[in-house]
Structures are given as C-alpha cells and as structure tokens.
Amino acid sequence: MLSISDKDYGTPPRNASGMVELEIDGRPVSAPAGTSVMRAAAMLGVSVPKLCATDSLEPYGSCRLCLVEIEGRKGYPASCTTPVEPGMKVRTQTPRVADLRRNVMELYISDHPLDCLTCPANGNCELQDMAGVVGLRQVRYGYDGSNHLDAPKDESNPYFTFDPSKCIVCARCVRACEEIQGTFALTIDGRGFGSVISPGQNGPFMDSECVSCGACVQACPTATLTEKSLIEKGQAEHSIVTTCGYCGVGCSFKAEMKGNEVVRMVPNKDGMPNHGHSCVKGRFAWGYATHPDRVLKPMVRDSIEEPWREASWEEAIARAAAGIKRVQRKYGRGAVGGITSSRCTNEETYLVQKMMRAALGTNNVDTCARVCHSPTGYGLKTAFGTSAGTQDFDSVLKADVVMVIGANPTEAHPVFASIMKRRLRQGAQLIVVDPRRIELVKSPHIAAAYHLPVRPGGNVALINAMAHVVVTEGLVDEEFVRERCEGPDFELWKSFITQPHNSPEAVAEIIGVPARDIRGAARLYASAGNAVIYYGLGVTEHSQGSTMVLGMANLAMATGNLGRDGVGVNPLRGQNNVQGSCDMGSFPHELTGYRHISDPVVREMFEREWGVKLDPEPGLRIPNMFDAALDGSFKALYVEGEDIAQSDPNSSHVIAALRAMEFVVVQDIFMNETAKYAHVFLPGSSFLEKNGTFTNSERRISLVRKAIPPLAGKEDWEITAALSNALGYPMQYRHPSEIMDEIARLTPTFAGVSYDKLERLGSVQWPCNDAAPQGTPVMHVGKFVRGKGKFTLTEYVPTDERTGPRYPLLLTTGRVLTQYNVGTQTRRTANVLWHSEDRLEIHPHDAEQRGIRDGDWVSVSSRAGAITLRALVTERVAPGVVYTTFHHPETGTNVVTTENSDWATNCPEYKVTAVQVMPLPAGRVPKGRQPIPAQLAAAK
C-alpha cells in the first residue's frame, strides 16, 4: 500500500536527454525519450487507470486496465509498456477503452471478497479506487464461480499479513522483491487461474528467503500484503517526513500518524538515499520507541549501590551539574569528560562538545565513532584533505567494478546493498574482501568475480599486494597521478610498494589469499574503467585501521579512481549519524569541520562565538578516559546515548573504569548497562520525538522531524542545554535550527546549510557553501580538498594479537540484518524472532576437532575474558576463524575483545581476537540462559 500522500506516475522516470513531443487527450506534452505514455499522461495531470503499474517498478503490462487508443495504431495498447513517440496522439478516455476497463474490473472483482468496509485497505486501496474510476456497477459473472476466497491467510511474519484471498496477481510484490530489494524471495506459482503468489517454496513468509524489507507490502495495490500495525490502528490521517534512526544509509521515511500515534513508517519515494526503499529495521522495528522499558522520569541516587529514585527534571539537572562541578573542584577541570553517540543528532553532539569545551573548559569529549570509524577520519583526511566518503550512493550505478572490503552491506546497510545489487545484476563486477563468505559473494543473479578471504589482521598486506600488482604491471593511471597527486610522495610510495615483500606471492601465505587471486583482483580493479571501494568496520577496527584506509586511498589514486561518478573510496557508516557526529567537532582534538583545536585562527573564531577561552590541547579519547579513570585522574563522565559498558572492548576494563569514577551521568531512552554505574539518569528521546538533523554515509544532511512529543518531556538537545545552564554557561536556543545556524557560522563546509534550505531541497550533501550552494554529491572533482592527493607509505605491521597454542583461533565480529549494534532498540521489537541470540560461527573442521556440534553451548576464551554462547557450524567462516555478533548483553561478546587499538586513533581492534573455543559439558546450559524455544515463545 503506497503512502497516503504519494503521487504515482505509474512507471519510472527516464533520464534520456532527448525530449519527445506528443499529444495526450488533445494536450501537448514533452517527455524524455523512453518515457511511457502512462507517465507522460501523469505528467500532464491525466490519470490512466492502472493496477499492475507503479512508478517504483518497471512496466509489466498484465492488468490490461491502462489501455488507451493511439491514432494510427491498431488495437488498444497498454499505456504502461508503450513508450512515447514523436507526434503520437493518444486518447486515454474513449467509450471503447471504458468498456474494456470495466470488463477487466468485472473479472477482478468476481474473485475478490466484497468486504471493503471492514478491509484494512479501505481508504487507500487501488483496486477499490479503480472500481470507482471505471464505473463498475455490476459483476455479470456473479460470485459463485471458482475463486480464491478461501485461501488461508499467512500471519507468520510479525509485521505484515499475506491474505491471498485479496490478491489480484499483479506481481507488483514479486517485482518489488526482485527489482527493488534483489532478494527474489517471491514468485508466481502455477498458471492461468491457478496462479498464486508464493514465498519461497510455497511455504509461509517466515520460512522463505524474505528479508522483511517491506517492498512487497508497499507495492501491493490491495490489502493482500498489509502492515499489522495498520490493520490494528486503521488508516493514518497525516504523515511527517523524517530520517531513520538506524544505520548510516539514513533512509528518508514518512511517519504515517493518527494524532500522536505512529501507524506505520513508509519509505519516502523522494528520499535521496533510499528512493522509497527500506529494510526490516527502519520500516518495521520502531516499536521500541514506546516500549514499556522506556524510562520516562529522571532518576537519581547517591551511590551505585543504592536503588534509583525518581526525581524532577530540576533536581536531576541540578544534581548532574553539582556532581560534575564537585569533581572538577576536587580533581581539576581535566577530570571530567563527555561521550556522545552516533545515534544523536548533529545538533545534540555539537551541543555536548560545546558544553564540554566552553562550560567545563576541557576538550575531554569524544563520540562513539572513536570505536568504529575514527581511522576513516584520519586516513581520508591525510590522503584527500577531508574526513568523509567521496561519493553519493547513486554513484554506484555508474561503477564497472565494485570492491567491498570488510563490510557486509546486505546485513548492515541493506538499502544501499539493494542499490549496489541492482548494479551488479546489470553486469558490474564484484570483488569481496572478507574473512567470511558474506551473502554478496553469491546471491541471486550475483557472483563475486573474486572473494579474497583475508585472514583477520591481514588487510594492509593485501591492499599493498594489490597496489604492487598495479605498479609492477604498468596499470598506474599516470596522467591522473601526474596531474592530481603530490609527485615526490608518489615516487617514494612507488619505490616502497614495488619492493618484493609487498608482492602477492610474498604475502599470500600470511594472509590466506592465493597470489593469483590477488593479482586477478588487482588487474580487474585497475582496468575497470570505473572502480569503487566500499568498506566498513572490517577495515577500520584493526591495529592498522588507519593504515588500511590510507592503503585504499593509495590504490584509488594510483588507478585514477577518484573525482567522478562511479569511483571513489567510501566508508559505510554503522550508525545513522557517524558522519555527522564526526563533523560536529566531537573528537577531542578537533572542532567542527575537522579543524585542529591547536589552530589559533580557528580557536579564536569559536572563542568569539562562544565567549570563552578554549584549551588548545587535545583531550582524552574514549579508551584514554577509561585508562585515566583507572589511574585516578578522570573522575566524572556524561554519556549521551551510548552504552559503553556493552559496546566498548574488554568490558571488564570499562566497568572497572566506570566503578573508579565518582560521578556518572547517563542520558538514554533505556536503563542500559552503563547506567548500572551511574548516579543520575536523564531520560532521552527517540528519533521520533525530536527535531534535528542526521548526516549519512554520503555526507547527506537530512532533517529529523518530531512526530510525537518527547515521552519524558524533553528533547535531548534541551537536556544538554539545561545542564549547561545549570553549569553556569547559558545556552538559550529555542529550536535546533538555531544550533545549525551557529554550526554554519563556524564551519566552512556547512556555511550554506540551514533548516530552510533542508526544507526546500529535502537534503543536502556537504560541502554546502557559496562554492556549492546545492551541496556536493561527488567530492574531489578536478582537485582534492587538500590540493594534491597524498600517497602514504603503508608498511604492513602484524597485530600483537596472534594465535598460539593457548588461543589458536581468530575471533572476528559483525552484525545481522535484523539487529542493530548492542540491540538496545531491536531487541525490544519482534526482530528477536529472527535473531534471538548471538551464535558463534565455527568451521566444521575446527568444530570437529573440538567435538562441537551445531547448537552446542561453547565457551570462548581470550586473554581478556571468557563468554558462553551456542555454536553454529558453518563453512561461511574459514578454518581458523570464528565469528559472532554482539547484539545481546547476556552474550557479553566484548568481554573477550581486547584493548588493542589502531595506532593513529585508538579505534579498538574488535575484528581480531585470539581465542580458544571449547564445548561445555553435555547438557549444561549456562546460568540464566534459556534454551531457544523458550526465548522465542517469550518474544512471541
């Protein structure tokens, strides 16, 4: 069911440069070549009746409702499959086509339940609308013939129903699954009258390959596929465009509302990152926002041994301010700090860093991007001059070769993965660098040309070897390097990279990738025409994370794959506002726009605006804060939206640090693990309850709009402002737009950004300023931000975290489609039906050696600690490598990860932990852990 406010043009737009002039119903119209007659008519405001056509799908021509008459042509062509031609004269309304359409509708309705008044689609049903449009007044065939009215309803999916009795077999759902999502989970089974929509092998949706992205539900013109929330609540009466609160794709959604209640979240057709597509999290897993676990009152206590007690906002804020001040007076201004989350808006993270620097006089402020993409910031700034990905998402549609390194887009960035898969189905080649055989390696109609299963920790050796091939085999784009890059740096790099120790043959055994595959992949990447790199935390979360980012930048520059559509180096950010939180000056050494705090010119600008003197020295980073807490020099922390006790590595170390602090303030929507060590809890607001902006992985700034009032009474930016006021530093913003205005005044790359512009354009990609008033989809066109691109030497230095007799396996971690990070949000939704526990993936060879069978409880121990979870025996992982997720606190995955970190940024090395895996004694279930069936029953 389409959004209540969408206009549907019937078929997708065409981008041909040539225009075609024609006449529809006697009115002239001009449309790009290739446009359908149906769309051209819609452009004129003429609606041609339709059922199987919708503008998100290629025309199909099956319903026969959109027939028209065209002068000089025989018969009645379907307007959806007929392209416009010069001079064409079309008539959309004639007595003959009216008869034909009415006859078609009679056939449809003769096999359709006549329960319109009680049907959930009532009020937004295309079939009902078409019956009205064609003037259906009778069904001459009667209703007693063969029909599908008794077909059983499939309620297996927690979020939508499939009622085949209402199905008209228009195949919009099947085509949406194929064309938009690329999963191919649906098909039409049978022929003629016996045709039915079939998920998988004609089983229930939950047993099929369906990933619950919702594309089929949105495409359905009847109530066959319907959101359960809509069935329960009825049609919405208004909608609010906002931005998803999950991953770094930053999908635009329409929150369809009844008063202050969300009826459903519908992906916004006009949303630039997602073009009307969604995934199971953004589309359906929003129920956490009103979950009973939400804490709606401020809470306070004198010590972490005491129970919480409710307090007024005034008391809680006063206590928070007094506690922080008390610590500063006792231990010095550097004894306090703040941490924000990438789930916070730009305005929120900006305010927290401003409060820390201006109100508290310390640069001890960091953001959770520290533990995910801080190496991206360092690497891309060093090489290109700015800390961000180079392309917009749509750029992938121009790529000839896509190299995915250490990322799993179908699970972690599903909507972008769908765009990428579309390009791959069109014929682009794929290289996957990942220790696991991720879904992209082989999925419907997609097969990677190369899967390089690099051993965890071997990334830099691999990228160096690829660059070695490029240089030694004469594949360097000499003209690009000569014109666009620093010459001496390139020459130095060239002499380094051509050394024999960087050759594929020298590193193959070390990293577990055959030399011929490295050579093949390098040749493919370098010779592609347009080759693009997308990468994730499998690149950054290593002791050489920054080196690897530099290595990828070297490779892209050497092959000339920068500065135009279809190329580039692009981080896929894990959370919705990783890019934004980094942009907002949330790192302890940088002010907004990645300008170092030691720069007196920049500092003076901020000092003038903020009215205070700023400390020119960098502050503590998150891991440094923990270390300093344990040595007694860091004593108070304000954490907004981040559950450091669960998400940061070596949990015991983090918890010891939190216990060593005298005062901790947590601001969150749930009482998270970190709050166990807090003295004041400030109840925050979900993305549905506040105004602000998020900046996605493609640097796109989008508005977050308040759909419902904050359940606890305040938006998060208001809480920070109140705390700052209580600390004695006034913040008098009336709306986040005023905060953005301040950001724009202080940040050259944001100088042209305002809420007015965002309202007008929908979104903009920074840099947005006088030089680029509409924003910048592709960066470094013609010239790098730093001027010339900089090649850097990237020597491979093996991590200290190595296997040995005691810990012979390498553990790496990741996430699944249905859960999000530490699961705070998604575990409080029906998504647990897909993923109710973290499992340890282990190769059959390693499992057999240890007597481990699929489903057995196993212990995983490392130098840092030990956890228990159940085994999943699979060849997805290579021998010697095990893998798990970190979505469930009872697993405690980060108990075993270590404090090893990236040399440049201290980003933890989550992706490499030497472990031993052993089975628990038969029949033993760890204390407090339920067998799976009981967990699932509870979830249901």
The mark string for 881-920 relative to another protein (x by CB under 8 A, - otherwise) is: ------------------x-x-xxxx--------------
Nearer to another protein, 328 or 819 (CB): 328
Q: How far is the CB of 728 from another protein (least distance, A)?
A: 3
Nearer to another protein, 618 or 808 (CB): 618
Nearer to another protein, 622 or 711 (CB): 622
Q: Does 596 bind another protein (CB under 8 A)?
A: yes
Nearer to another protein, 58 or 795 (CB): 795
Strand (E) or helix (H) holding 850? helix 844-850
Q: Does 276 bind another protein (CB under 8 A)?
A: no
Q: How far is the CB of 917 from another protein (least distance, A)?
A: 27
Calculate the dihedral angle through the C-alpha atoms of 572, 252, 817, 581, rounding to the nearest 10 degrees.
40
DSSP 283-348: HHTTGGGG-TT---S-EE-SSTTSPPEE--HHHHHHHHHHHHHHHHHHH-GGGEEEEE-TTS-HHH
DSSP 638: E
Nearer to another protein, 326 or 876 (CB): 326
Tokens of 214: 């919702």
Provide the pairing of β-strand 636-640 with 663-668. Answer: parallel
Residue with tokens 């647990």: 832
Taking contact as CB under 8 A, which single stretch among the options 208-216, 356-364, 659-667, 691-699 is the one that binds another protein?
356-364
Site for another protein in 211-270 (CB under 8 A): none
Radius of gyration from C-alpha coordinates of the chain? 29
Q: Does 488 bind another protein (CB under 8 A)?
A: no
Q: Does 496 bind another protein (CB under 8 A)?
A: yes
Q: Does 728 bind another protein (CB under 8 A)?
A: yes
Q: How far is the CB of 631 from another protein (least distance, A)?
A: 5
Contact 127, 51 (CB under 8 A): yes
Which residues, in sequence order, are CB contacts of 871 under 8 Å at separation 6+? 839, 840, 842, 847, 852, 853, 854, 855, 856, 857, 858, 917, 919
Q: Does 543 bind another protein (CB under 8 A)?
A: yes
Taking contact as CB under 8 A, which single stretch among the options 480-488, 613-621, 663-671, 764-772 is the one that binds another protein?
613-621
Taking contact as CB under 8 A, which single stretch among the options 327-335, 479-487, 702-710, 738-746 is the one that binds another protein?
327-335
Tokens of 909: 């090395």
DSSP 188: E
905: nearest Cα among 380, 243, 291: 380
Contact 371, 545 (CB under 8 A): no
Query: Which one of 509, 609, 800, 875 is in contact with another protein (CB under 8 A)?
Result: 800
Size of the site for another protein (CB under 8 A): 48
Query: Which one of 69, 179, 517, 627 is in contact with another protein (CB under 8 A)?
Result: 627
Query: Which one of 67, 171, 524, 620 is in contact with another protein (CB under 8 A)?
Result: 620
Q: Does 329 bind another protein (CB under 8 A)?
A: yes
Query: Which one of 325, 422, 437, 705 is in contact with another protein (CB under 8 A)?
Result: 325
Q: Does 501 bind another protein (CB under 8 A)?
A: no
Query: Which one of 99, 795, 854, 890 is in contact with another protein (CB under 8 A)?
Result: 795
Q: Does 851 bind another protein (CB under 8 A)?
A: no
Taking contact as CB under 8 A, which single stretch among the options 182-190, 297-305, 573-581, 612-620 is the one that binds another protein?
612-620
Nearer to another protein, 356 or 778 (CB): 356
463: nearest Cα among 530, 542, 349, 393: 542
Nearer to another protein, 751 or 904 (CB): 904
Q: For the packed helices 651-660 and 622-630, what is the interaxial angle rounded to 10 degrees?
A: 60
Q: What is the layout of strands, in order, in the sheet containing 531-535? A: 450-452, 429-433, 401-405, 531-535, 568-571
Q: Does 755 bind another protein (CB under 8 A)?
A: no
Helices (H), 637-715: 644-647, 651-660
Nearer to another protein, 162 or 496 (CB): 496
Q: How far is the CB of 496 from another protein (least distance, A)?
A: 7
Strand (E) or helix (H) holding 552? helix 545-558
Taking contact as CB under 8 A, which single stretch among the options 121-129, 258-266, 355-363, 420-428 is the one that binds another protein?
355-363
Taking contact as CB under 8 A, which single stretch among the options 6-14, 52-60, 331-339, 712-720 is the one that binds another protein?
331-339
Contact 884, 869 (CB under 8 A): yes
CA 709/CA 691 separation, integer angstroms: 10
Query: Which one of 128, 222, 242, 328 is in contact with another protein (CB under 8 A)?
Result: 328
CA 866/CA 852 separation, integer angstroms: 17
- Beta strand ranges found along 121-275 (DSSP E): 160-162, 186-189, 196-199, 225-227, 238-243, 252-258, 261-267
Q: Does 588 bind another protein (CB under 8 A)?
A: yes
Tokens of 727: 């600390």
Q: Does 360 bind another protein (CB under 8 A)?
A: yes
- Is the Cα torsion angle 180, 185, 186, 191 positive or negative in sign? positive
CA 484/CA 416 separation, integer angstroms: 30
Q: Does 607 bind another protein (CB under 8 A)?
A: no
Q: Does 610 bind another protein (CB under 8 A)?
A: no
Contact 365, 702 (CB under 8 A): no
> How many CB atoms are closer than 10 A to CB 329?
10
Q: Does 23 bind another protein (CB under 8 A)?
A: no
Q: Does 628 bind another protein (CB under 8 A)?
A: yes
Q: Does 630 bind another protein (CB under 8 A)?
A: yes
Q: How far is the CB of 351 from another protein (least distance, A)?
A: 16
Q: Does 567 bind another protein (CB under 8 A)?
A: no
What are the two backbone dihedrals, phi and then psi, of residue 221, each rounded to the nearest 5 degrees?
-85, -5
- The contact set with another protein (CB under 8 A) reads 325, 328-329, 332-334, 358-361, 363-364, 492, 496, 543, 546-547, 588-589, 596, 598, 612, 615, 617-621, 624, 627-628, 630-631, 633, 727-729, 793-795, 797, 800, 899, 901, 903-906
